[in-house]
Amino acid sequence: MRTLSIFDGEFTAYPTIFKKSKPVFDESLIRNKSFCLSPNRKKRGSVTNLKNNLGIKVGGVSTFKTSFISGKEKYLYNGHYLKLKVMDKSVSIVISEGAKSLKLDCWDLAEVTKMFSIKNQKCNFITDTYIIDLIEKGRLKVKFKVGADKNHGTDWKLF
């Protein structure tokens, strides 16, 4: 008598047996969930452009203070919707008003990954793919802090 296996017997083999599983990351190792990283200067002063074109005037001076902007939901600021988007190894802000939209490249993806991994040195799983996933799910967000007196840069935070 021959024994039956899942391949030639009456058993059904499900494709999930052979599927590669996604690696599980231990996010409890992440200690520093926030960091500062201003947009690159070589990107033609994106903060200055945002401040001058979308900012709110306070005492005759343009400001650009936002709440946290994510890659999942649009954030309304001064009549424009803002959203993060990752494309071609750069993190951009997509500005939309009605049917029109404009993509403004602000950060290199490698810089965001590097800064987040510097803040969390015990985490060896922080890669570009991991950062893209966090931004697209709306967990890694950015906030601009340009006041009337000074440009305080941007804050990134993991939620």
DSSP state of 59: T
Any idea which residue has 């024994």 for tokens?
3
Evaluate whether residue 14 is within a structural domain: no
Evaluate whether residue 103 is within a structural domain: yes
Q: What is the dihedral of CA 158, 75, 89, 64, to 10 degrees?
A: -90
Evaluate whether residue 104 is within a structural domain: yes
CB–CB of 112/37 below 8 Å? yes
Query: 12-67, pLDDT tens digit by residue?
Result: 555 555 555 556 677 888 888 898 988 875 555 678 888 888 999 998 999 999 99
Classify 78 as helix, strand or coil: coil
Evaluate whether residue 18 is within a structural domain: no
Mean pLDDT calculated for residue range 128-145: 96
Evaluate whether residue 43 is within a structural domain: yes
CA distance 42 to 143: 20
Provide the pLDDT confidence category of residue 152 given band limits of 50, 70 and 90.
Answer: confident
pTM for this model (two decimals): 0.79
What share of the chain in percent tops pLDDT 70?
82
Counted domains in the chain: 1
Mean pLDDT calculated for residue range 83-101: 93
Any idea which residue has 């424009």 for tokens?
80
Evaluate whether residue 158 is within a structural domain: no
**Which amino acid, 43?**
K
| Position 112 pLDDT exceeds 80 | yes
The CATH number of the domain where 143 resides is what?
3.30.70.3570
Q: What are the two backbone dihedrals, phi and then psi, of residue 108, each rounded to the nearest 5 degrees?
A: -80, 135
Evaluate whether residue 126 is within a structural domain: yes
Provide the pLDDT confidence category of residue 8 given band limits of 50, 70 and 90.
Answer: low
Structural domain boundaries, residue 130: 24-151
C-alpha torsion sign, points 114, 120, 121, 122: negative
Evaluate whether residue 132 is within a structural domain: yes
What share of the chain in percent tops pLDDT 90?
53
